A and B are shown apart, each in its own frame.
Chain A
């Protein structure tokens, strides 16, 4: 990494430069695959955004001056952020319990987290329609318990959209968190207990900081995947839930205006790279902090 923390740098210099060399060699296979099948096509897309229909900034002028595009981009980003925060809040306790439970409980939770992944997003969105409809399960429960007199219109609405989207993204937050938490050395917590820390102190001072790489990884993943949300907002959302991916698909597949579609995609791409650079910076600082704390 660009900002390697001092301890690791020192260690590397003193003993084994060959380890770093070996690790660099590892980059060749994935680098070749990604260069060929991602970077080359993507440069094609970026080039097209400046050259179709004519060379220049035509498409970008259209994006940034008028029309629904900027607003849709803004909406996409705020929605993705909101989904990420909601996912994190929901996923953390699940991951915490799962990572520290005994094997059988771990398997049970793991199964419950993984099973929704195999069900098509289309079908899951429909299931949420069934829950949130005027004659849906939720409204029946609300009216029969007398909490409301007339059914609530949840669809279209933000609650339904977020419940549906968080449901889709939750496994993508829980599982990286679990992967990280499982690699936290449990003896550290035990040691803290022996030294007189309460469980709350042990959690806040030791477990939480050590789990931050997982938090950052899961958040980065969920945020980026949420930028591409497509079908769920369309099925559960209202007029304003018009995500950038929908506009891109419309331009690419129906209007066949690939120049504009490419420009929109390029903006999203730049945005992702920016967000990810922040993530890398943050996670390096976190790791540096962790190393220092140890």
Chain B
């Protein structure tokens, strides 16, 4: 960025145009949040935009009705372990298929990623007897496994994309210098692919967080997740409750992000001081 001052003017205009385009796209990404926000404070019992009056009754309703809290808890109990497992298995699969000199790696990769496109009801029908066989049916673990299957491809593809632009020379160098495979992995490979693993994990969690059919099939009676509650509303009529839920999740994410960036800022300042 500092170099921009010595660039010819047309690159600066190019840079400005790029900034403008990216800003527009980011506005597009966040726009639905700002439509949902006023909807959640509507004084009407049905969704109408723009709202004609304001009320916080929908937030009170959520607080009073335990089923939303319960559903959120269930979604997290399923989503977080599923994302972590996806990160582990997806990364291992990517490393192995990318660096293992397999014959037929193409077909094997295809088998790893195939769950992405399969309608979940089909996967659910297929998994159902398996879960009975393992005595897992009706448990959260069954849904976690199901969501891991759809999460693995997301991590796999992201990590593969990162590995593709690394040539493996550093790992070779480490091994040549006597590092064990395990040391090589933790000290050399993992730091290189960390961002891919992390991003894949985010995508896997998001996929689980909005998944309906597998949790419906595999968890026990009475277990409701957020998508299930939203789906029920879609059968009847939408109320501002779902807008309020979306806004709460949005606010919660924001708080998490602010805390994370604050911690990071403190961390890097400490580092600077230490180095200085």
- The interface of chain A, by Cβ under 8 A from chain B, is 1-2, 4, 7-9, 11-12, 15-16, 18-20, 22-27, 29-31, 33-34, 36-42, 44-45, 90, 93-94, 96-97, 102-104, 107, 109, 111-124, 126-128, 130-131, 136-137, 167, 170-172, 175-180, 182-184, 193, 198-200, 210-211, 213-214, 216-218, 220-221, 224-225, 227-228, 230, 244-245, 248-249, 252-253, 258, 261-262, 265, 268-269, 272-273, 276-277, 280-281, 283, 286-287, 290-291, 294
For residue B176, which residue of chain A has the nearest CB?
A15
Cβ contact within 8 Å between A213 and B165? yes
Chain B contact residues, majority secondary structure: helix
- Residue from B22, B36, B100, B106 within 8 A of A281 (CB atoms): B106
Knowing A15-B176, A120-B230, A213-B161, say if A130 contacts B116 (CB, 8 Å): no
User: B151 to nearest A CB, angstroms?
Assistant: 11
Give the interface centre of B28, B90, B96 by most chain A CB atoms within 10 Å.
B96
Knowing A24-B102, A120-B210, A253-B121, say if A112 contacts B7 (CB, 8 Å): no
For residue B249, which residue of chain A has the nearest CB?
A118
For residue A45, which residue of chain B has the nearest CB?
B126
Knowing A22-B181, A94-B22, A252-B121, say if A116 contacts B90 (CB, 8 Å): no
Cβ contact within 8 Å between A167 and B29? yes
Cβ contact within 8 Å between A16 and B231? no
- Residue from B96, B106, B129 within 8 A of A44 (CB atoms): B129
Cβ contact within 8 Å between B164 and A2? no
Cβ contact within 8 Å between A179 and B145? no
CB-CB contacts of B154-194 with A at 8 A, as 1s and 0s? 10011111101111110110011000010010000000110
User: B6 to nearest A CB, angstroms?
Assistant: 11
Would you call B149 an interface residue if the criterion is a C-beta within 8 Å of the partner chain's C-beta atoms? yes
For residue A290, which residue of chain B has the nearest CB?
B165
Would you call B272 an interface residue if the criterion is a C-beta within 8 Å of the partner chain's C-beta atoms? no
Would you call B25 an interface residue if the criterion is a C-beta within 8 Å of the partner chain's C-beta atoms? yes
Knowing A24-B102, A36-B130, A180-B165, say if A116 contacts B29 (CB, 8 Å): yes
For residue A249, which residue of chain B has the nearest CB?
B121
Q: A9-B101, A39-B111, A113-B26 are in contact. List 7 more A-B contacts (CB 8 A).
A: A34-B89, A115-B254, A123-B32, A130-B35, A214-B164, A230-B119, A252-B119
- Residue from A171, A244, A276, A283 within 8 A of B113 (CB atoms): A276
